[in-house]
Structure 1
Amino acid sequence: MSEITKVIVVGAGGYLNPIVISSLQSHGFSVSVLVRNTSNVVPPAGITVYRTDYSDSSLLLAFKDQDAVVNTITMPDFAAQKKMIDIAVLARVKRFIPAEFGIDTSKEETVEIMTFLKMKPQIIQYLRSIQDKITWTGIITGPFFDWSLRQGFFSFDVPSRTAYIHQPGHHMHRFSWSNLANVAEAVAHVLLSKNFPIVDNRYVHVRSFNASQDEILQSLISATKRVDISRGRDHTEWKIIDVDLEEKVLEARNKLAQGDSGSLGYILSKAIYRTGGNYDLEGVVMNEKLGMKLEESLDATVEREVTMLSS
C-alpha cells in the first residue's frame, strides 16, 4: 500500500477528536474533519471541514481523495458505521480506523459483559471480510485515564477527595490505561508507512502505564497533599469507601436502562477484572514497535490532573 498523506477524522468536538487532529497535524498529515450539518464545532485553523447528513452523496464527497478515515465516534448501530465503510471503499480510501479506542473488545467475554459494545467486534468482522478492498486497524487503548480522573468516571472523585474501592479484592488488579494524548499518538503512528507491516488488518494495543486502584489511590493521596502544601492550605484527607462491585454493576445496569450512563465505569471495571486487561502481561503492547515516544507515568499524570482540578 502506498503512503498515507490525507486523513479525514469523523467528528471535531468532544474530548478526543481535537487531540487526534493535533497529533495528525504534528506528524505531517493533511487533515480534514467530517461533522454533522447541525454541528457548531469550530475546528482548528487550516482544517478542511466537510458537513454531512450521512447521506451517501455527502459521505462520498468528503471521502473522495482521502487516504484514511479515522472514526472516533461510536455509532449507535452496526449499519451506520458499515455504511461509512462502504462509502470509504467506493471512494478508494486505503485505511479505515473504526471506533475502538478503549477496552479490549477483541475478547468475547468483554462483550458478553458489556453487551452495548457488541457492535464493535461486528464491525471488525465486516472489515475482515473486505480487507482485500480496504485495510483497517483497531486501536485498543484501555480506559482513558486522565479523562476518567477529570470526570470522576472510574471511582475517584478528586474535588471531594473520595475513593470508591472495588471489593472483594479487585482494587489490587493492575491493568492498562491510556491518556488521551497517547491515544492520539497511536492514531498517527498506525498511519505511518513504516508501520504498515505491523498494523495492517489487525488490532493494535497501546497504553500509557499499568496501575491498580490501590496504586492510583496512593498516587492521588501523595499528589493532593503536595498541592495543598504548595498552595498553603489545609490538606483534606481522602475518604475511602469500600463498595461491592457486583452490587454497583447491577445498579449501573438499571441506570443504563433508563439512559443514565454515569455509573458505566463499574461495568467497565467488571469486564476488565474478568478478562485481564494488562497488555504488558499479555505481551501485546506495541508502543515501542510503533516508535511512539510519548510517555507519561501514573504519578506524572496524577500530578498534572490534581494540579488542574484543585485550582
Structure 2
Amino acid sequence: MASQHRPIKNVVVLGSTGHVGIPTVIALSNHPAQFTVTAVTRDKSQASFPPSVRVVESDLSRSSLLSLLRNQDALVSCLATSLINQQKDIVDIAVECRIARLVPSEYGLDSTHPNAAKFVPVTKTKIENLEYIRQFEHRLSWTTLVTGSFFDRQFGDPGWFGWNMAENKATVFDGGDVEFETTNLSQIGAAIAAILSPEHLAETANQVVFVNSFTTTQNKVVAALEKVTGRKMVIEHETTAAFRERALEAHKEDLTIFGPVADLVTASVYGQGGLNLYSKSAGGLWNDRLGLGREDFLGSIEKALATFHKPS
C-alpha cells in the first residue's frame, strides 16, 4: 500500500489552541479507537484537552517538527493566517516524515475560486501553498476544507462581520437578504475527523471539500438574535462595494494591518466576488457524504452568545 493511502491513526494538530484547533482536537479525541491525537501548542500551560490527548509545546522550528511528525500518519494545520507563510516549510517536513494525509490551514472562503485572489488578496498565499502541495501528490495526499465564515465565533469580537453584540448593533450589508454560507467551529472539527476516518479517507484524497452549518442571510440572523436576546437591535446599513473599496485603500497603505484584511473577507462573505455561496459554485456540499448532522440555527446562536460573547 502506498504510504499516502495508508489508514490514519496518529494525528498531529498544529495551532491546537486556536479557534479551529480546539474543536478539531476535541472532535478527533471523540474517536479514541480511531485516532491518537497530538496537540501542538506554543505554550503547553495554556492547553486544556481531554486526558487522551498528548499535548506538546513547540516553537515550530524544523528540528521540533521533524521530531513531532516522525511515525505520524496525518498532519492537520490550524495555524493562524499570520503564520501561513510557514506552510511550505511544513509541507517539506511532512513529506520528509512520510505523512500520509495533510490538511492545510484554509477553513474560510474558497481560495480555489477564480475571484478569490482579486477580492481577498490574503488568499494568494493559500493558492500558492496548495499549488506547492500538489507537487507532492505521489508522496502524500491532501484535503482542503472550505467553510466560509466561522458562524458562532463572529459574535465574540465587536465589529466582526458586522455584528457588535456588546452595543446590540449590527451593520447590515446590501439590504440584508444576500444569502451566504457559514459554519460553526464544532462543525469544522467534525468535518476534519470525518475526512480522516476510514469511511471517507479515499474519497477526500486530493479534494477541496465544502461544508457549512447554514445557508442564511443577515436579516435572518438579526431576527434570530432579537428572538434569543429579547432586544431590538440597532441597525446600520452599508454596501459591500463601498466597504470593500475602503478596505482596499487601507490595505494598500499597510499590508500588515489585520483590520482591512478582515473587512475584505467580510465583503466577500456577504457577496463580493461571488464567494458567498461557495458550495453552489463548486459542485455542492459534502455534509451528507461526510455524515455531518444537521445543526439548529437558534440553538447555535444561543450557544455562540453564551460561549463567545461575555457581556460587560
1:135 equivalent in alignment to 2:141: yes
Which residue does 2:167 correspond to in 1? Answer: 160
Equivalent position of 2:243 in the other structure:
248
Q: Note the 1:82-231 alignment, pairs <5 A.
A: 82-152=88-158, 153-167=160-174, 169=175, 171-225=176-230
Looking at structure 1, the residues matched to 257 and 95 of structure 2 have their Cα atoms a distance apart, in angstroms, of: 36
Write the distance in 2 (CA, Å) between the matches of 1:25 and 1:310. 28
Q: Residues 228 and 302 of structure 2 are in contact (CA less than 8 Å); yes or no, is this contact kept in structure 1?
A: yes
What letter corresponds to residue 302 of structure 2 in structure 1?
E
CA distance in 2, matches of 1:211, 1:79: 33
Amino acid across the alignment from 1:269: T
- Cα displacement string for residues 143-193 of structure 1 (whole angstroms, at most 9, x for unaligned residues): 1000001223110212311111113x4x21111110000000011000012
Aligned AA for 1:261?
A: F
For 2:6 and 2:239, locate their aligned partners in 1 and report how far apart those are by CA, in whole Å.
52
What CA distance in whole angstroms lies between the structure 2 residues aligned with 1:46 and 1:302? 30
Contact 1:51/1:58 (8 A) holds in 2: no
Question: How far apart, CA to CA, are the structure 2 residues paired with 1:253 and 1:209?
Answer: 28
1:279 & 1:254 partners in 2: Cα distance?
26
Q: 1:69 aligns with which of 48, 72, 75?
A: 75
Distance 2:171 2:76 in 1: 35
In the aligned structure 2, how far is the partner of 1:187 from the partner of 1:303? 24
Q: Deviations over 1:72-102 (max 9, x none)?
A: 1145476521111111111111011000111
Residue 268 of structure 2 is aligned to residue 271 of structure 1: yes
Partner AA of 2:204 in structure 1:
V
CA distance in 2, matches of 1:219, 1:66: 44
- How far apart, in 1, do the equivalents of 2:80 and 2:166 lie? 29
SS at match of 2:203: helix
- Distance in 1, Cα, partners of 2:258 & 2:6: 42
Letter in structure 1 aligned against 2:299? A
Check whether the contact 2:47–2:55 (CA below 8 A) recurs between aligned residues.
Answer: no
More off after superposition, 251-260 vs 216-225:
251-260
CA 178–78 in structure 1, closer or farther in 2 if over 3 Å, else same: closer
Inter-CA distance 110–35: structure 2 relative to 1 (3 Å threshold): same
Instruction: Report if the CA contact (8 A) 1:12-1:41 is conserved.
Output: no
Gaps of 5+ in 2: none
The count of residues paired between Structure 1 and Structure 2 equals: 297
1:141: how far off? 0.7
SS at match of 1:108: coil
SS in 1 for 2:41: strand
Cα separation, 2, equivalents of 1:260 and 1:39: 28
Q: CA deviation at 1:35?
A: 2.9
Q: Offset of 1:122 from its aligned partner?
A: 1.1
- Cα RMSD after superposing both structures: 2.2
User: Which string of whole-angstrom CA distances, capped at 9 and with x for unpartnered residues, describes residues 38-64 of structure 1?
Assistant: 664334234323333333322111000
2:221 maps to 1:261: no
Q: What's the CA shift string for 1:253-296, capped at 9, x where partnerless?
A: 45554444245443113324121432454442001101123x32
TM-score, length of structure 1 as denominator length = 0.87
The answer to whether structure 1 residue 51 and structure 2 residue 57 are counterparts is yes
Structure 2 Cα separation of the partners of residues 307 and 86 of structure 1: 41
| Aligned residue number for residue 291 of structure 1 | 291
Q: Match of 2:163, as an amino acid?
A: F
Give the partner amino acid of 1:151: D
Compared CA separation, residues 52 and 302, structure 1 to 2 (3 A): closer
Structure 1 residues 159 and 129, CA gap change in structure 2 (3 angstroms): same
Counterpart Cα distance in 2 of 1:73 and 1:194: 26
Judged with a 3 Å threshold, the aligned counterparts in structure 2 of structure 1 residues 303 and 77 are, in CA distance, closer, same or farther, namely closer
Q: Which ranges in structure 1 are unaligned for 5 or more consecutive residues?
A: 226-235
Comparing 61-70 with 40-49, which one deviates more in the overlay?
A: 40-49
